[in-house]
Amino acid sequence: MEKYTFKFQKTSRIIAIILLCVTVLSSTCITAFAEENNAINKPETNIATVLTTVEKVIDGGQVIIDGKENNLYREFANKNEAITDIKEKVPTLLSVLSTEYNLAPLTDENWKEYKDAMFMLFDSENKPENYDESNIEFRTLRAFFDIYENSEKNEQILEKVQVLKYVQFNRSLNKEIDEELALLLPYTEPYARAFIETKKNDIVPYAGAAYDVTKAVNYANKYATNPNKPTYYYFSRGDCANFASQILENAGVSQIVYNDVGKGWWHKRETGFLGIGYKHTHSQSWSMADTFARYQGIMYSTTNHNSFKANISKGSFIVADFDNDGDWDHCGFVTDKSSNDYKVAQHTSNYNEWASSSKNGWDNIGGDGGKYARVRK
């Protein structure tokens, strides 16, 4: 029996992707940037939030490894229809992004440009006044891309499975592709979970290393809204994991350095060509939220915001899976905690704000269908 097999047929079970639209008593939908309503209210105050479907989402299929079934990521049944539908849901934001970054109308060919642009807009001088993480159109488009990207991830997984069939007797190459596959699969699946167990020897020693909460908080407070350049690189399209890693390092945790971006947890800075500027390189676990979370280790997870709030403290590193689809999308750091609130320092968007603030979107994640987690001990 082959170690690696996969099922081609996708299940017919339909899952509705949860995206948000704001309604008021008049049932008129308020666009995210309406001039007459510049203030964005938090959903738990006076905004009535309704759930609506964008396009059918189906199971992505399964791969069988070591006799165990591993689910792939959920994906849209029809990507073209999904594109058409999201254009109707968030027309104002798409128009802003198109104008600001000179983008053609959203298609399957340029969706990654739009995904990058929606995060780059946070740093733009032309950012709309009420464009923040509580913004309904931002949250809707973010949830859309979280599912839309999954068909590409599934293709990568199936390609790795095919390759593994031909390298089973090459131990070094087999191990390398095994690791890549484990990091590509949803974190909920048996092979991904088993891989993390085998990596505990790497993770645990430095997870228990010297970690100074005061130093971590001081660094986060200083650089949350003022990135530490050129000491570190700044990723305008998504800098959350890079910033979290900086906090961890400056709190006393030593890097684990390799000459392979797929191994360890590290950042290198070298003087640029002819002594001009700097060249930065990073491990995936340093700069990518999903790999950062898996490498650091998930200590607690929940879809309930109140439970999450009760299980974090000052000095906690936190991550979010926006659509609860099996990969961690974002991370932050808790700089303060009160009896009923907590303060998060993060990048993309860059802030150090209480969860009760409109700029801070962490309290919306569970209600939007996502999952929270605390990483490290």
| Most confident among 143-147, 214-218, 262-266, 272-276 (mean pLDDT) | 214-218
Instruction: Identify the pLDDT of residue 343.
Output: 98
For the chain, domains (ranges, CATH) are 4-150 (no CATH), 199-377 (3.90.1720)
Q: In which band, very low, low, confident or very high, does the pLDDT at 114 lie, cut at 50, 70 and 90?
A: very high
From the centroid of its chain, how far is CA 31? 25
Instruction: Identify the pLDDT of residue 47.
Output: 24
Instruction: Identify the pLDDT of residue 96.
Output: 97
Report the predicted TM-score, pTM, of the whole model to 2 decimal places: 0.84
Instruction: Identify the pLDDT of residue 204.
Output: 43
The residue with tokens 């798409």 is 94
Whether the pLDDT of residue 8 is over 90: the answer is: no
Whether the pLDDT of residue 226 is over 90: the answer is: yes
Q: In which band, very low, low, confident or very high, does the pLDDT at 67 lie, cut at 50, 70 and 90?
A: confident
pLDDT tens per residue across span 87-107: 999 999 999 999 999 999 999
Give the mean model confidence (pLDDT) for residues 289-304: 94
Whether the pLDDT of residue 2 is over 80: the answer is: no
Burial label for 93, CB within 10 Å (0-12, 13-18, 19+), is: buried
Whether the pLDDT of residue 377 is over 80: the answer is: no
Instruction: Identify the pLDDT of residue 179.
Output: 84
Q: In which band, very low, low, confident or very high, does the pLDDT at 26 lie, cut at 50, 70 and 90?
A: very low
Give the mean model confidence (pLDDT) for residues 37-60: 49
List all residues 6 or more positions away from 158 whose beta carbon is below 8 Å from its beta carbon. Answer: 6, 63, 72
* More confident site: 274 or 239: 239
Q: Are 50 and 156 in contact (CB under 8 A)?
A: no
Residues of the chain with pLDDT > 90, as a percent, come to 64
Length of the chain: 377
